[in-house]
Chain A
Amino acid sequence: MNDLALHLLDIVQNSLVAGASFITIEVDENPAGNLLTISVKDNGRGMSPEQVQKLSDPFFTSRTTRKVGLGVPLLKHTAEQSGGGLEVVSVPGKGTCLTTRFQYDHLDRPPLGDVANAVVLMISANPGVDFAYKYTYNGRSYNVDTLQLKEVMGDLPLNDLYVMEMIEEMIKENQSDLKVCQIR
C-alpha cells in the first residue's frame, strides 16, 4: 500500500462485506497537534469480541476464497511503525468502528494520498450504500454525505462519470480551502 487512502479503500471493503448500508469516514489531519486520525464507522453486522481479538492476526479471515486476511494487520503495522496505533470497537448486530492514529511528522508515516478520489470511487462503486465523509484540518472541518448529494442530483445517479468528476472537484476544492485559510 503506497498511501493511507489505499488503506482506507481496503478497510471500507470490510464494512461493505459486513453488509453495511451506512459508512462514515473521518479523516483528521492535525499538524498542530502532530496527529493524523482516520476512522471508519459502519452499521454492518459487527464482530464478536473473539473476532475483534483475532483481527490483527494475518491468518484469520472470515472469507472462504483464501486463507489470509491482511487488510487490518497491514494497517496496524503501518500505524504502529508511525508511532500510532489501531483500535476496533464492534458490537454484533450494531456495527464496527475502526480508528487509526499516526504521529503526523513521523518519518515512517505514509502520505495520506488522494482521499477525495478514494471516497468518490467508493460512492460510485456502491450505489446501494450511503457514505458520510468528514475531513478536518487543524480543527476546521468539511462534511459531505451521499444523502445530500443524491438530493442534489435527483434522478442522475452518483455513479455517472460526470457527476463523479463534479463531486470529486467539490470535495477537493473544500479540502484545499481548509488548508489555505489556515496559512493566511
Chain B
Amino acid sequence: MTKIKSLDELRKRKQQLEQSMEIREKSNHPESLVQIKVAMATCGIAAGARTVMNAFVEKIKKEKIPAVVTQTGCMGYCYAEPTVEVKKPGQDPVVFSYVDVKKAEEIVDKYILNNELLDGILPANYQTI
C-alpha cells in the first residue's frame, strides 16, 4: 500500500479501516477498556518509558485487546521507573515497576489476559493479613 501523505489520503485510509474493523465503541465506553498508564515524567522518560509505551501499543495491537495507552506524571517512585499503572474494568488499579519491553509483554500476557499477578508491584510493602 502507498504511504499516506495528505489529509485526504488519511481520510481514505480511515474509511478502509472502518470497513474492515469490528465495531469497537471505544469513545462511548472508556470505562470498559483496559487502561494502561505509563508514567512519563523526567524520571520515567530517562529510564525508557517511551520504549515501554511503544511496546504496549504494539502488544495490544497484536493481541487485539480493547485497551488504551495513556501517560501520567511522576508518582514519586522515581527509583523504580519505568512504572506502569494498569486498570482493568471493574478492578482496582495495579502499579508495576521496573517495566521494560519484556516485562510489558509479560504484563499483557499474564495480568491483562490471565489475571495473574507479577513480581514488582508497587508499593512493595503492601500485604493483606
Residue tally, chain A, CB below 8 Å to B: 44
Q: Are A163 and B14 in contact (CB under 8 A)?
A: yes
Q: Does B32 contact A (CB under 8 A)?
A: no
User: How many interface residues does B have (CB within 8 Å)?
Assistant: 38
Count of A-B contacts with CB under 8 A? 103
With a CB–CB cut-off of 8 A, which chain A residues contact B26?
Answer: 157, 160
- Residue contact B42 to A74, C-beta cutoff 8 Å: yes
B69 touches A9 (CB 8 A): no
> Which residue of the partner chain, among A9, A66, A166, contacts B13 with CB atoms under 8 Å?
A166
Please pick, from B5, B42, B71, B73, the residue contacting A173 in the complex, using a CB distance under 8 A: B5
Given A9-B45, A173-B3, A174-B5, answer yes or no on A161-B74 (Cβ-Cβ < 8 Å): no
Binds B, one of A48-56, A92-100, A117-125, A133-141: A117-125
Question: A1–B46 contact, CB under 8 A?
Answer: yes
Given contacts A10-B45, A173-B5, contact A162 B71 (CB under 8 A): no
Question: From DSSP, what is the main secondary structure of chain A's interface residues?
Answer: helix
Which residues of B pack against A, CB within 8 Å? 3-7, 9-11, 13-14, 17-18, 21, 24, 26-27, 38, 40-43, 45-46, 50, 53-54, 57, 60-61, 68-71, 73-76, 78
